[in-house]
A and B are shown apart, each in its own frame.
Chain A
């Protein structure tokens, strides 16, 4: 259990003159809910993009359960069981909630049958209904995804990430834009999921982070500022200085919502 589920070695990504992740070497243990925090522009999303294959690092390596996945393409990484949600919510907008889940489930099959009706797949139907129930969206099953509220889209994205029995879930600000009630539901869901699957969560809401996380990694300017348990982090001198102790903590949430 204490083997790292995810490990990076000297991961560097530059955008022109800007170094988004700077020689980042970190190791996230499995079986614990891992949170990554840090101010805007710290390189958190870039870190996720490098793991999930949407970006290629300029140098450095990524290991998933000791397997080198550097340079694999997004669909190959997805098929290894690493699923993610996006900071800017990303679903299939013009089709229904149910079809979103349906396609996502069938996408995990190696062979996509070209002639048999997709709807005839009973195993998929059952799994889709199960996930609809889990994310509490059964009543919205036939709504077109593009017409959902922001919080519901976020919830659908979580459903899509978990429908194919992932091994590692990367959640990029999953509750951003949710109402307090939705947040509560999503947090409960994430806590429940964490018992079955390794999760790394990026989140700005400190209440949520400190309530959920077993381990916290703090990034600033593309590098690790600190790692440790929630208590260690909240007592950490430099973290407090750089980040937590800011009097305008509330403003911070708004900034995150605007981002």
Chain B
């Protein structure tokens, strides 16, 4: 854990030294998509809702930033805020309808919402730039007099993304361990029992849905700044599906599972896609293997291995104790 954190903090220096500059931005991208996967994980792994709609909120985060800067002339922070607020508002509105349903009905309605807004975004050219999307010039993030920091500086860009993603994961960690997070898990485990102990299942699902909208919205806003553009492509439900695969392979219902899954697949994509155009075959095969052989994902598998490694030792300790008895 500590090694991993230390590594992330030194990426802008170690990676260019070890490989090349390009991989710094790949790692920044991995961080953003991990956050996106975390939003899927909050719903699927902790509340038991299978959402194919998270790309919608990612897209709203992107467009909030793009439209905010390009059309409204906003500076960095208001545009960031607009992106996240737009994503949460959309999550609230669609959630009011979607979380009444569960299982495949819920999954289907999230796809439907995604499709509707995807086609709206493509057709409303005056607002969204249609197929071309919105390209914008970056405003500075901080400026004190003459000194400015902006995403134009790759190191600043990297650390800003790292800080934002780390903060979101920390918030998620707090939520998971809180009474609210325990209530989410109760809903996931048994929604009838949850309602009988006094939990408002509908409100809890809606709360989780808006929280997940927040995570996806932050990811989308960061991605807009990172790419200096907003585009409807990222709103397509296919993107949601990818986030779901990353989550499940990494380990749904674990805090770090989405990071593991996202990292793995983006590295595969970056390494393999330059040599072989069918890299999605590898992705698919791996996803199927993990689902069959490690239903709790790679993080779950790792934990099981650790448990098994610890268990015999514990047993041995007990048996020696027994033997030392007179």
Contacts and interface: CB of A to CB of B under 8 A. Distances in A.
Query: Do these two chains really belong together in a complex?
Result: yes
Interface of A: 52-54, 73-75, 78-79, 83-84, 86, 90-95, 99, 102-104, 106-109, 112-119, 121, 160, 164
A78 B197 CA distance: 6
Interface in B120-143: none
Majority secondary structure, A binding face: loop
Given A102-B182, A106-B179, A92 B189 contact: yes
Contact of A103 (B171, B175, B185, B195): B185
B192 A118 contact: no
B84 interface: no
Interface in B58-93: none
Given A106-B179, A114-B178, A91 B198 contact: no
Contacts of A164: 197-198
A75 B179 contact: no
A50 to B, nearest CB: 14
B294 interface: no
Nearest to B183: A112
Contacts of A160: 197
Given A74-B195, A84-B196, A92 B185 contact: yes
Contacts of B196: 52, 54, 74-75, 78, 83-84, 86, 90
Contacts of A104: 197
Interface string B178-217: 1111110110011011111111110000000000000000
B312 interface: no
B189 A115 contact: no
B179 A121 contact: yes
| Leading 9 A-B pairs by shortest Cβ distance | A74-B195, A78-B198, A92-B189, A114-B180, A112-B180, A115-B174, A112-B179, A107-B197, A106-B179
A47 to B, nearest CB: 16
B104 to A, nearest CB: 22
B195 A73 contact: yes
A106 B183 contact: yes
A112 B181 CA distance: 9
B284 interface: no
A34 B195 CA distance: 24
B326 interface: no
Contact of B198 (A75, A93, A113, A121): A75
A121 B198 CA distance: 19
Nearest to B194: A107
Given A103-B182, A106-B183, A115-B175, A92 B198 contact: no
Given A92-B193, A95-B189, A103-B186, A113 B199 contact: no
A108 B185 contact: no
A95 B195 CA distance: 17
A109 B200 CA distance: 12
B145 interface: no
Contacts of B197: 78, 83, 103-104, 107-108, 160, 164
Contacts of A112: 178-180, 183
Interface string B88-124: 0000000000000000000000000000000000000
Interface string B152-195: 00000000000000000001001101111111011001101111
B178 A115 contact: yes
A135 B114 CA distance: 49
B180 A113 contact: yes
B183 A103 contact: yes
18 contacts: A75-B200, A83-B196, A90-B190, A90-B196, A92-B189, A93-B189, A93-B190, A95-B185, A99-B182, A102-B182, A106-B179, A106-B182, A107-B198, A115-B174, A116-B174, A117-B177, A118-B182, A160-B197
